[in-house]
Amino acid sequence: MSNTPSTPKPSSFGEVRKFPSGYGQFPYLIIRMHYGVYMQIPIQLGPPEAGAPPRPGIQIPNLSASQIDEYRVNLDSEVHDILVEHFRMWKQKTEFYNKGRKIECCIVESPDRGYYFKDQEEIKSSSIPRGGTLLSATSDVIGMNIPHYLIPQATEVKPSPEENS
């Protein structure tokens, strides 16, 4: 099998890590497609910049810069409540239009914070979905057997010239 743009390149044995721009950043929605297969939908909190290319995912309208700033430091802020309400209504409409097919999904806000919607339950948890096969909104494989978010790369700290003398 060749490594074409549509074929993810394994980063190590049994893993694939190929996040397109806009994916793997908090917050995002995970939809459980079936056992071990998940779809990630980025959640865009800020408005798109003028002239910038379109961003993937769901745009949450009418959030002020101060609301977004508060959410970045306090996940229990008003923006969390807006996200929960938005996706509660989205889940109800989607299930209705899919002839009652139940959807399991999770708003993932940080590496240790998820808000699950399963059946009629809503559960805040310190555990988030990970592993399995991760798909983009266009059903491309973007991850296998990895966390569903980008892990910041450590930067190498070089000693100053004074420390070397």
What Rg value do the Cα atoms of the chain yield, rounded? 18
- pLDDT one-digit tens code per residue, 17-62: 889 988 999 999 999 999 999 999 999 998 888 888 888 999 998 9
Strand partners, 115: 107, 124
Under the banding of pLDDT at 50, 70 and 90, the label for residue 11 is very low
Q: Which element (helix H / strand E) includes 127?
A: none
| Type of residue at 148 | H
Residue 4 has pLDDT above 60, yes or no: no
Strand partners, 16: 10, 144
What is the rounded distance in angstroms from the CA atom of residue 37 to the CA atom of residue 150?
Answer: 18
- pLDDT one-digit tens code per residue, 121-144: 899 999 999 999 999 999 999 999
Residue pair 46/64 in contact (Cβ under 8 Å)? The answer is no
Instruction: Report DSSP letters for 37-78, one per residue.
Output: EEEEEEEE-SPPPTTPPPPSSEE-TT--HHHHHHHHH-TTSH
Dihedral pair phi/psi, residue 93, rounded to 5°: -65, -45
Q: What pTM was estimated for this model as a whole?
A: 0.81
Other CB atoms within 10 Å distance of the CB of residue 79: 23
Residue count of the chain, please give it. 165
Residue pair 9/17 in contact (Cβ under 8 Å)? The answer is no
Q: Residues with Cβ < 8 Å from 39, sequence gap 6 or more? A: 30, 31, 33, 134, 135, 136, 137, 139
